[in-house]
Chain A
């Protein structure tokens, strides 16, 4: 099963979008994901 590295995907976002998300994002409730892999939607459908 292939999966997408969440942090890599976040880092690949355009810089202007990252800046906008930083300014608009809701706060954290605590805790941290230090590494995450996201299953692609196509694979979920299969």
Chain B
């Protein structure tokens, strides 16, 4: 496009924007603009390549600025379906470019970053005539234009746009809207539009009836229009976003814009659509969902089986430990009794060696007495035992032999039975007593465990 053609188009646009009809645009004028600046075939692919700043420091790239179709921008705590029809967007196409102000000065369409409408956030401008690109295949029709990013004003943005790292744009619009299904009451309509529902084969949506103004363009990480990029021939991948936001968003979303709109007695600004970065809480929601998915991905059956097996092993181990503990208690009791007997035998031995000798024929009788009687009684008995010339020290025979401690089995005795009765009684309901059969079985179990402890078995 030559400089003369560009100037002519800009004048035509300026005439439309400042026309005597107060901002409504004639079809003839718009057709003239679009005919004068057709979208060259293949130009879009070339514009998607890396672009360096020109001699004036501008990185210029063609972008799809807005497309026909349904979008789901967020509003407050939810997302809602919005529809832009071709006739409405084509009628507004001239506004996606420069315009004359009241003094007759040509003003560019300003390009911001992330819809932060402040002077220090201006990153570029749009000076060319917009172009309407018809639908082709799965790509909807839409408005395109060349955006020029100033590498001197914001070298970072210019570089990122030039190399294609930033590739999406979003239009700041004012528009009027109506219900796609006017027969619905308002609450039902809002509910269905938020849910993304369809009725009679059509999405329930806010339908844009008139774009009143294109206030600005912004480069964004991802806009509501997935085709609004430097490659509208390739739909940009859209990250999954939760449909909801915190309720505080309703009050906190760009209050300066709301205040401006509220100050107008008869608001021409019906709605403003803006592409913004996701709120921080969305990442947290995504993180929460990941954790839930990870938990659900666990092999639940295997986990339950493993826990059940571990619990069963614990029960078995606990039962075995309990039996061993009971046996150990009996063993300790018997060890105390054995120590008492050993002390008694030692006293007998000392008494015999000191006073008398015992004949071999009387040894068995003495051993029986030592086992059954106390020391004092035994001493009295010893006084009447006949004395032999080569008597055997009684104490040695009274010491228990090692084989007695490591015999084949420990016989069940009354101590085992008493212990078994006590243990079984503790486990039974109050007022009930264990049967003799159960006591005998438990006593045998304790005796067996005691034997294993004594012999070092497990």
A-B contact count (CB 8 A): 161
Q: Is B250 a contact partner of A37 (Cβ separation < 8 A)?
A: no
Q: Do A27 and B224 touch across chains, with their CB atoms under 8 A apart?
A: no
A11/B78 in contact, CB under 8 A: no
Given contacts A7-B76, A34-B272, whether A41 and B178 have CB atoms under 8 Å apart is: yes
| Cβ contacts B4-48/A at 8 Å (1 or 0 each) | 000000000000000000000000000000000000000000000
Bound together, the chains give a CA A12 to CA B385 distance in angstroms of: 113
Among candidates B78, B183, B222, residue contacting A22 with C-beta atoms closer than 8 Å: B78
Choice from A10, A11, A18, A38 contacting B178 with Cβ under 8 Å: A38
A30 and B218 CA atoms in complex are apart in Å by 14
* Complex Cα–Cα for A28 and B178 (A): 20
Alpha-carbon separation in the docked complex, A42 to B243 (Å) = 30
Q: Which residues of B contact A27 (CB under 8 A)?
A: 72, 79, 240-243
Q: What CA separation (Å) do A28 and B179 show in the bound complex? A: 19
Q: Which residue of A is nearest B209, CB measured?
A: A39
B121 adjacent to chain A (CB < 8 Å):
no
Which of the listed residues A30, A34, A44, A45 has the most CB atoms from chain B within 10 Å of its own CB?
A30
Are A25 and B243 in contact, with the CB atoms below 8 A? yes
Contact bitstring B178-217, A, C-beta under 8 A = 1, else 0: 1100111011001100111000000000100100000000
Contacts of A32 in B (CB 8 A): 73-75, 224, 253, 273-276
Nearest A-chain residue to B261, judged by Cβ: A35
Assess A10 versus B272: contact at CB under 8 Å? Given A39-B178, A44-B182: no
Q: Mark A1-43, 1 if CB is under 8 A from B, else 0.
A: 0011011011101000110011011111111111111111100
Residues of chain B within 8 A (CB-CB) of A10 are: 75-78, 190, 194, 250
With a CB–CB cut-off of 8 A, which chain A residues contact B71?
29-31
Contact indicator B250/A30 (Cβ below 8 Å):
no
Q: How many residues of A contact B (CB 8 A)?
A: 32
Q: Tell me, in angstroms, the Cα distance from A41 to B150 when the chains sit together.
A: 45
B244 within 8 A of A: yes
A29→B238 contact, CB < 8 A: yes
Per the bound structure, the CA–CA distance linking A37 and B206 in Å amounts to 10
Closest CB of chain B to A34's CB: distance in Å? 5
CB-CB nearest in chain B for A24: B195
The minimal Cβ–Cβ distance linking B456 to chain A, given in whole angstroms, is 66
Q: Is the CB of B77 within 8 A of A22?
A: yes
- The smallest beta-carbon distance between B280 and chain A, in angstroms, is 14
Q: Quick check: A36 and B244 within 8 Å, CB to CB?
A: no
**Given the known A-B contacts A3-B270, A13-B187, A35-B272, are A29 and B73 also in contact in the complex, defined by CB atoms under 8 Å?**
yes
Task: Give A2 Cβ to nearest chain B Cβ, in Å.
Answer: 10
Beta-carbon nearest neighbor of B175 in chain A? A36
Complex Cα distance, B272 from A6, in Å, reads 11
Please, how many angstroms separate the alpha-carbon atoms of A2 and B430 in the complex?
Answer: 83
Whether A39 contacts B244 by the Cβ 8 Å rule is no
Chain A residues contacting B223 (CB-CB under 8 Å) are: 30-31
- The reply to whether B78 and A30 contact each other, CB–CB distance below 8 Å, is no
Q: Could you tell me the distance in whole angstroms from the C-beta of B309 to the nearest C-beta in chain A?
A: 38
Cβ contact within 8 Å between B79 and A25 = yes
A36 to chain B, nearest CB (A): 4
B271 touches A36 (CB 8 A): yes
Q: Are A6 and B222 in contact (CB-based, < 8 A)?
A: no
8 contacting pairs across A/B (C-beta < 8 A): A18-B77, A25-B243, A29-B79, A30-B224, A32-B74, A33-B80, A33-B271, A34-B272
